[in-house]
Amino acid sequence: MATENKNLSDYDKASIPNAKNFRFGIVVSEWNDTITEGLYNGAYNALIENQVGQENILRWNVPGSYELIFGCKKMQEQQVDAVIAIGSVIQGETKHFDFVCDAVSQGIKDLNILHNTPVIFCVLTDNTMQQAIDRSGGKHGNKGTEAAIAAIKMAHLNTIS
């Protein structure tokens, strides 16, 4: 398990680029909202901790993880420096899980290839609700925090000529 020996909320603040002048979009799935709200809070708090002003954080909600792709595409048009896609897909009894996870990961990958605004993948794809809880502020930390730090680093990378 990739997160077994790592706390997703841990990062070296001294190694994070100055984010004061960056603007971020966060697109949040309403499906599994207990999980996605925890992820959003982790991302939001990490951005604030790294000097991003509240006015420079734009949040949009979409119905589910599948809709994150379109939401992120539209968010890229809002003059943001990076977008964070937040969702949670939990394995059920059908193949729906596989189709949604594949489509969302491929769609976000495509946005990163086609556009110049980085989109950060913060979509939990867990086997159980407990695994999702553990990664959205539970015993493994918060994947939202990790995604926000990645967004800051990618926004900074995009400024390098």
| Catalytic positions | 96
- CA 144 distance to own-chain centroid: 6
Of 147, 27, 11, 141, nearest in space to 85 by CA: 27
Alpha helices in 2-161 (DSSP H): 33-49, 68-76, 96-114, 129-135, 143-157
List of residues 6+ apart from 55 with CB closer than 8 A: none
| Core vs surface per residue 75-90: b (16+ CB within 10 A) or e | bbeeebbbbbbbbbbb
Nearest to 3 by CA among 158, 151, 148, 130: 130
